[in-house]
Structure 1
Amino acid sequence: MKKLFLFDAMALIYRAHFAFAKTPRISSKGLNTSAVFGFANTILEVIQKEKPDYLGVAFDTPAPTFRHVDFPAYKAQRQEQPEDITVAIPYVKKLVEAMDIPLLILDGYEADDIIGTIAKKAVQANPEIVVYMMTPDKDYGQLVEERIKMYKPAFMGKGVEVLGPKEVCEKWDIQNVDQVIDMLSLMGDAVDNIPGIPGVGEKTAQKLIAEYGSLENLLANTADLKGKLKENLENYAEQGRMSKHLARILCEVPIDYQEERLLATPAKRDLLEPLLEELEFRTLKKRILGEESPVVVTKSKAPKVASNQIDLFASSIEEETGPEPSFTNHKNLQSTAHQYHLVQGLAAVKQLIQYLTRQTSVCFDTETTSLLAVEAELVGISFAYRTGEAFYIPFPADQTEAKELLEPLKEVFENEKIQKIAQNIKYDMSVLANYGIEIKGEIYDTMLAHYLIEPEKRHNMDALSLAYLNYEPLSIEELIGKKGAKQGNMRDVELNLIKEYAAEDADITLQLKPHLDKVLDKNPKGKTLLHELEMPLTRVLSAIEREGVNLDIPFLKEMSNTLESDVKIVQERIYELAGKQFNIASPKQLGEILFEKLKLDPKAKKTKTGQYMTGEEILSKMDAEHEIASKILDFRELQKLKSTYVDALPQLICAKTGRIHTSFMQAVTATGRLSSKDPNLQNIPIRTARGREIRKAFIPRNEDYQILSADYSQIELRIMAAFSQDDSMLDAFNKGQDVHKATAAKVFGVALEDVDSDMRRKAKTVNFGIIYGVSAFGLAEQIGISRTEAKEIIEQYFVQFPKVKQFMDQSIHQARENGYVETVMGRRRYLRDILSANMNERGFAERNAINAPIQGSAADMIKVAMIQVHDFLVKEKLKTKMILTVHDELVFDAHKDEISFVKDKIDHIMCNALDLGIKIETGIGLGNNWLEAH
């Protein structure tokens, strides 16, 4: 049989673009080539593996189709096409033409209509042809026949799917492929704005089609149904019919089927070579074209594939611009030669130690029973010190025996001459500390190294392995199942399988290090940040996490009861104001009450699904108009406080220690700030009185201690003053003045003593808003003034603080020149949209260009302070412990006998952590709980 492959170009272009969203390919000229690169790989994979006899690429055009004419809302809600895709489309067309593949385009018809028509005509004209429609779009299922199949491309590790009638019917749970359209007519399609029938999802649609066979038969028999479903089917019958009309792929497009035109032929080297050069796909060009070999696209007419093309899809795709994820097959444990050894028993462990202690660096990884390090027990440890070989030591469940087996390994972990390499080494460090082992000497974390290279990308080992090694590691879910209550335990995994999994982790992590070092070597500041800031901080955070925080459980129980009573009172008042009872937590019911019954906003906005929008921003605007809006906000706050914090915090207490142990994450925020989870301390409420009460639950370990809080004062404003060197701001800070009052005096043109509270409030909002690139519209919204007045305040601010404006302009200029901005310590934030023609994308990047150096420098500063404070507490062998860090604040369990000593020292360290040339101040407080201290 002959093969005809028809490609849905736009679907594949979009897929490629978003697949690279976190790892975009940017050329030296600033061109995002991700979509073209992904599309090229998709086409080439088909040519390489399937060796098609005929090829065609179908494109949509901007011209309206019959669907737009019949239903103006068709695709109307779609977001504007990303600028990078708009730029990529002409390049994709050039690529297709250079490969001598026909472009199938006709105004008034979509690519799926063209593909449907060509597919049907092809199988009718030639009984020897099988058509493969290459697309990720599920709608093509309606076209499938025995010789017309869907070919869903491989994507991020998931293999190619070829779907015939049987597979399509199984996927949709229907009897025949014609019913795909009936399913779509009932369910609708949010992507294309096909409305469907309200309230009918996939499962309901399957039941209805199984019983009635088609939409038409269903609508003719609605008398059999009951309730809301019957009502909706009768009320929206015409909408359902229109949906079926829109979902049907037209197979009568007036386009000729010319089989010989679709015949696969060699690419046009004279067109392809310069195009690949322009796109900077140099390694790809070399692999495709070889020395002089043409790109082969047919098995019947062209010469055999050149030998240097054979491994195109099995090898790493790495251009001069750096590694990227492949769309094609990855290497894995089964396809890669390796030697992973099982090391059992004390004698074998001691023999391994003899080899490990001879190394200058060793990579290791722990397997444990829990993600919470402080309660985790060791299941095993793997070691690697050369590529392709690793060793796995299993540990017994009996903890006394485990400690005996682990004891000799102190010789490795506590050897200061051996560098220890790991992925997320903080966790391993904390687990080993449970057994009295301290990791000494230089440490290296591949996760943190990549975080400094590409802060906004994913840093887990699987992602790094795919990107740098084109290798797909064994999934943890293959061993213990998916996350959730039914997930298994590592102790239950068969020994040989866990050996392969664990040893592979150490082996792959070891292989990643030289790739990461190669990139870091090009950025000395980034390398310094890794070794002198992030890695030392890892030790500090491990100590803080292990220390934990004491909780006042009786207080939380009392607060929970109070909140429950408050919720009921507010709920009753809402019912009273609404004139009826309803589900306040239901956006649908709430919207109907606010905008249909009470008619609070005749221009109320709706979501894509037709529900009214009832978010905080909308309710806040209606606050003054009707009491119900403020009561709903109160209701939501009370419920969130109770469920998210007051009732949840006691559930996080570790049975082993009796405290909560949050996990600090170094590699999440692009600015360098720390985040935390279980609990997320960064989000503990502070703006409202009720929210602040939660901090009362965080208490000292016993009566010999107090909570000490040290919080940087207006640190981001001080950093902005230091960066801009604005004389007025520097003077205000260095003289210890109220900077917001000083700002108000200048902006409003009054004497310092004449500044009233309203002026100060507005100036404070402007001061902080400037850092985040606030607009006149945004400022007006925040402080409740007209846009004109807000514009005048911002303009006057820049007149009075001209160097601040110069700093902002310079930051944006630097971002445009370099593609990134830096903190005071050289932490980079990449801003790839800084030259975008899209105003919204460019504006967002410009605001980040201003804010990232300020917020990132504040992050650098508190990290330096944490390291120095921790070293001080350890060196002096003090009982006082650092237990939390939130934003610009450090929190301590301070022993009462040490308070006067540590208080002054902590203040001194924090104020002098970085020399910014401006006076730095902290606010230090003491109390019997965190709220009192703060």
Structure 2
Amino acid sequence: LGMMGDASDNIPGLPGVGEKTAKKFIAEFGSMEDLLKNTDQLKGKMKEKVEENAELGRLSKQLATICITCNVTFDATDYELSPPDNEKVQEIFEELEFRRLRDQFIKIFSDETEGTPTMVTSTETGKKEAQAAGSGQFSLFGSNGAAPATLEVVSGRKTIKDVPHVYQSIQPGMALDLFLTNLLKQKKVCFDTETTSLNPLQAELVGIAFSWEAGKGFYLPFSEDKTEAGSLLEKLHPFFSSTEIEKVGQNLKYDIKVLNKYGVEVKGPLFDTMLAHYLINPDMRHNMDVLSETYLNYTPISITELIGKKGKNQLSMREVPLDQQTEYAVEDADITLQLAEHFEKELEEAKTMDLFREIEIPLLRVLADMELEGINLDYEFLNSLSAQLDSDIKALEGKIYDEAGETFNIGSPKQLGEILFDKLKLVDKPKKTKTGQYSTAEDVLSYLAKDHQIIKDVLEYRGLAKLKSTYVDALPNQVEPSTGRVHTDYMQTVAATGRLSSNNPNLQNIPIRTERGRQVRKAFVSRDKDYVLLAADYSQIELRIIAALSEEDTMIEAFENGEDIHASTASKVFNIPLDQVTREQRGNAKTVNFGIIYGVSAFGLSNQTDLSRTEAKELIDTYYKTYPKLRRYMADQVDFARENGYVQTVLGRRRYLKDINGSNAVVRGAAERNAINAPIQGSAADIIKIAMIDIHKKLKEGEYRTKMLLQVHDELVFDVYKPELEKAKKMIKASMESAYKLKVPLDVELGVGENWLEAH
């Protein structure tokens, strides 16, 4: 190991010696020391390298050698398991605000259990297990009417084989009637659909699981016959239409969309555990298996275990035997119900229940309707754009080959790096990757582009190629056959700031800074000649929010007077009259305005503008002198984060920053930038969500034929019935501008067109 080195352990090794050569040297010389004594037996460059790096070789061997002569004392009694110091542990949990862990610790190690769990025999496995008083991260089943709970403090997570449970499949007849009677008596019920597809527009209902008591649940299998399935759903109609029974689920948007396909509307209050956990811990994964293992110390049956791995031998859910369907489906409902009880308390403790009930849950229904609606595509335009892009890509390809003096694979980072930095020698000391290859990442090339035409052309080539493959050629393949429209999926639980993201297709990433990128929007069109697209876009909402939160008077005044904020900033920063601000000065001020939110540095600003690093630093310093309250607000946000471990939006959405007090300066710096940025981005996200909920409600109550179709960043897109256009414009603008009252007025710009590009 000393000869060949090990990069993961920072052991350098001898240059030019790999595993094969190291083995050969060991066989010939026996050790590093003997190799270094006999270098005269080596030949050529290898002899030269070994002799020149003899000290490095000795150091490498030392680093790779485990020291076995350390003076270590061992006393077995030091490693005996003893009861914890309850008081000290609780003090630590209180200090760190680990309320859930504190409560679970108290339940397990309180005086009621005499500090040590007692031993019982599980009714299903006959194994000795540790008994606990309640549920928590350490136990799946609590004492709320379920069978006695068991707990393995040391032995690891439980599975369905380890816990008492009663899961029943219900067949038509008396059992079904009795089940339905009991179902309608409940105040809170968890339900979970089992289907044949992850695409709700193509999914067929296989069964629905229900649970309203820990450890118990029911499964209703559905026939492939549409008439029989419809008849069973009709019997469930009183439950789904009840406004009194709270429906609990994990990713309820999917279930709502599946049931919508069968003509079933899910009414009444909702509790989605995925959304709840997103508010509790936005940076963590939110799928049910992870949540179950984290909070209930229980590993659910995996879908792979049930239907097999992807491939020709994978079963559909309908092919799974009924008893296995029942166990899998009801277990999901049972776990989700118990997670809901945990998360309800945590939402209350974090004071985010209002955000959950009034924003995220209502938005779930709004997004479900938007996704079901979809949007039309102009196929002819996409085909034309694809051909045009293909021609432009080939022209750029030829130009790059001429500049390089040879043909090569432009898409290969290795070949591109060799052309740019070995052959053309564009940089004296090019940046390299960890593997020693030249880096041709976009940020590296962008920095060099202004000085080298070939790099400009390569970046343009990449942009056009990505645009063509990711959007222009891909969009037609994402049309849903049953509707002829594109149905993007909006995800509420991905961006930690609270922003929505979308997938299939990802509308958030359609490039809009280039003319070609903007052309993609032209492919999204109204449903027919009786409709037009309307785009409603918040104007500079993030700047308005930071002006309001910082109470920066000069910035607030500029917004109140309807001034061009970037020109106004340039006027103040460069100390010139507003009417004398040049286009370049306004552009630089705009870059600073938006860059401040993301913690732009002098280095970053100089890369984004034509300013030198010194000029960029002077501009940023002058900016902060011009807006002192803004700087104070940013410092206060970082201080708040350091003290509390999180920052929050205007509605109390929290962004936890675990690295804010970290020792690593780079990581800590990123957390500090997030402390400034997250409340701004998150507040903008909160505000547009409020607007979406309000507009959706008014469209329904007003019986509009107009539909809300898309949400992209700070913009909403509508399919507007032409006779409703003026009425809809007035309502949408008013709803968006009054969504949340700030010290700065919100401003919404409207555009109308036959396609999204025209409307935007």
Q: For this structure pair, what is the TM-score category when the shorter chain's length is used for normalisation?
A: 0.7 to 0.9
2:220 to 393, 418, 427: 393
Aligned in 2, Cα 1:317/1:265: closer, same or farther, shift over 3 Å? farther
* 1:765 alignment partner in structure 2: 591
- Contact 2:138–2:297, Cα closer than 8 Å, also in 1: no
* 1:131 alignment partner in structure 2: none
* 1:611 alignment partner in structure 2: 437
Matched, 1:779 2:590: no
Residue identity opposite 1:393 in structure 2? L
- Contact 1:326–1:466, Cα closer than 8 Å, also in 2: no
- Contact 1:194–1:247, Cα closer than 8 Å, also in 2: no
Matched, 1:420 2:247: yes
Write the distance in 2 (CA, Å) between the matches of 1:788 and 1:661: 48
Aligned-residue offset at 1:871? 0.7
Aligned-residue offset at 1:523? 2.8
Write the distance in 2 (CA, Å) between the matches of 1:315 and 1:264: 33
SS at match of 1:622: helix
2:688 to 859, 862, 868: 862
* 1:153 alignment partner in structure 2: none
Aligned-residue offset at 1:326? 9.1
Aligned-residue offset at 1:585? 1.2
Q: After the TM superposition, which residues 513-528 of structure 1 pair with which residues of structure 2 at under 5 Å, given as runs?
A: 513-524=340-351, 526-528=352-354
**Per-residue Cα deviation, 1:633-684 (whole angstroms, up to 9, x for no partner):** 1111111111111111111111111111111111111111101111111111
2:177 to 350, 362, 368: 350
Q: After the TM superposition, which residues 788-807 of structure 1 pair with which residues of structure 2 at under 5 Å, given as runs?
A: 788-807=614-633
Residue identity opposite 1:819 in structure 2? G
* 2:290 alignment partner in structure 1: 463
Structure 1 gap ranges (5+): 1-65, 76-188, 221-233, 296-306, 320-324
**Per-residue Cα deviation, 1:440-469 (whole angstroms, up to 9, x for no partner):** 111111111111111111111111111111
Write the distance in 2 (CA, Å) between the matches of 1:492 and 1:262: 58
Aligned-residue offset at 1:327? 9.1
Aligned-residue offset at 1:764? 0.5
* 1:264 alignment partner in structure 2: 76
Aligned in 2, Cα 1:766/1:492: closer, same or farther, shift over 3 Å? same
Aligned-residue offset at 1:268? 8.0
1:872 to 695, 698, 702: 698
Write the distance in 2 (CA, Å) between the matches of 1:596 and 1:666: 47
Aligned-residue offset at 1:379? 1.1
- Contact 2:11–2:64, Cα closer than 8 Å, also in 1: no
* 1:432 alignment partner in structure 2: 259
RMSD between aligned residues: 3.6
* 2:97 alignment partner in structure 1: none
SS at match of 2:704: coil
Aligned in 2, Cα 1:401/1:811: closer, same or farther, shift over 3 Å? same
* 2:491 alignment partner in structure 1: 665
Aligned in 2, Cα 1:764/1:607: closer, same or farther, shift over 3 Å? same
**Per-residue Cα deviation, 1:34-66 (whole angstroms, up to 9, x for no partner):** xxxxxxxxxxxxxxxxxxxxxxxxxxxxxxxx9
Structure 2 gap ranges (5+): 30-43, 94-100, 118-126, 140-151
Aligned in 2, Cα 1:193/1:365: closer, same or farther, shift over 3 Å? farther
Q: After the TM superposition, which residues 302-701 of structure 1 pair with which residues of structure 2 at under 5 Å, given as runs?
A: 329-345=156-172, 348-483=175-310, 487-524=314-351, 526-701=352-527
SS at match of 2:194: strand
Aligned-residue offset at 1:809? 1.9
**Per-residue Cα deviation, 1:461-486 (whole angstroms, up to 9, x for no partner):** 11111111111111111122335676
Give the TM-score taking structure 2 as reference length: 0.86
Write the distance in 1 (CA, Å) between the matches of 2:555 and 2:75: 72
Residue identity opposite 2:493 in structure 1? A
Aligned-residue offset at 1:541? 0.4
Residue identity opposite 1:498 in structure 2? Q
SS at match of 2:393: helix
Aligned-residue offset at 1:263? 6.1
Q: After the TM superposition, which residues 49-88 of structure 1 pair with which residues of structure 2 at under 5 Å, given as runs?
A: 67=2
- Contact 2:138–2:296, Cα closer than 8 Å, also in 1: no
Aligned in 2, Cα 1:475/1:834: closer, same or farther, shift over 3 Å? same
Residue identity opposite 1:599 in structure 2? K
**Per-residue Cα deviation, 1:370-397 (whole angstroms, up to 9, x for no partner):** 2121222111100001110111111112
Aligned in 2, Cα 1:765/1:337: closer, same or farther, shift over 3 Å? same
SS at match of 2:189: strand
* 2:69 alignment partner in structure 1: 255
- Contact 2:276–2:343, Cα closer than 8 Å, also in 1: yes
**Per-residue Cα deviation, 1:534-585 (whole angstroms, up to 9, x for no partner):** 1111110000000011111121122222222222211121111111111111
* 1:846 alignment partner in structure 2: 672
**Per-residue Cα deviation, 1:210-256 (whole angstroms, up to 9, x for no partner):** xx996569999xxxxxxxxxxxxx999989x9999969997784517
Aligned-residue offset at 1:621? 2.2
**Per-residue Cα deviation, 1:60-88 (whole angstroms, up to 9, x for no partner):** xxxxxx95xx78xx66xxxxxxxxxxxxx
Aligned-residue offset at 1:701? 1.0
Aligned-residue offset at 1:436? 0.9
Write the distance in 2 (CA, Å) between the matches of 1:199 and 1:872: 72
Aligned-residue offset at 1:293? 9.2
Write the distance in 2 (CA, Å) between the matches of 1:247 and 1:460: 46
Aligned in 2, Cα 1:558/1:833: closer, same or farther, shift over 3 Å? same
Aligned-residue offset at 1:626? 2.2
Aligned-residue offset at 1:279? 5.9
Aligned-residue offset at 1:351? 2.9
- Contact 1:461–1:509, Cα closer than 8 Å, also in 2: yes
Aligned-residue offset at 1:345? 2.8
* 1:48 alignment partner in structure 2: none
Write the distance in 1 (CA, Å) between the matches of 2:91 and 2:45: 57
- Contact 1:389–1:507, Cα closer than 8 Å, also in 2: yes
* 2:142 alignment partner in structure 1: none
Give the TM-score taking structure 1 as reference length: 0.71
- Contact 1:672–1:860, Cα closer than 8 Å, also in 2: yes
SS at match of 2:247: strand
Aligned in 2, Cα 1:244/1:506: closer, same or farther, shift over 3 Å? farther
The worse-fitting range, judged by mean Cα deviation, of 571-580 and 281-290 is 281-290
Aligned in 2, Cα 1:252/1:612: closer, same or farther, shift over 3 Å? closer
* 1:922 alignment partner in structure 2: 748
Q: After the TM superposition, which residues 113-128 of structure 1 pair with which residues of structure 2 at under 5 Å, given as runs?
A: none
Write the distance in 1 (CA, Å) between the matches of 2:61 and 2:385: 54
Q: After the TM superposition, which residues 82-231 of structure 1 pair with which residues of structure 2 at under 5 Å, given as runs?
A: 190=8, 192=10
Residue identity opposite 2:209 in structure 1? S
Write the distance in 1 (CA, Å) between the matches of 2:651 and 2:66: 64
Aligned-residue offset at 1:429? 0.7
Write the distance in 2 (CA, Å) between the matches of 1:776 and 1:612: 26
- Contact 1:267–1:294, Cα closer than 8 Å, also in 2: no
Aligned-residue offset at 1:876? 1.1
Residue identity opposite 2:468 in structure 1? K
Aligned in 2, Cα 1:586/1:243: closer, same or farther, shift over 3 Å? farther
* 1:299 alignment partner in structure 2: none
- Contact 1:765–1:779, Cα closer than 8 Å, also in 2: yes
Aligned-residue offset at 1:400? 2.8
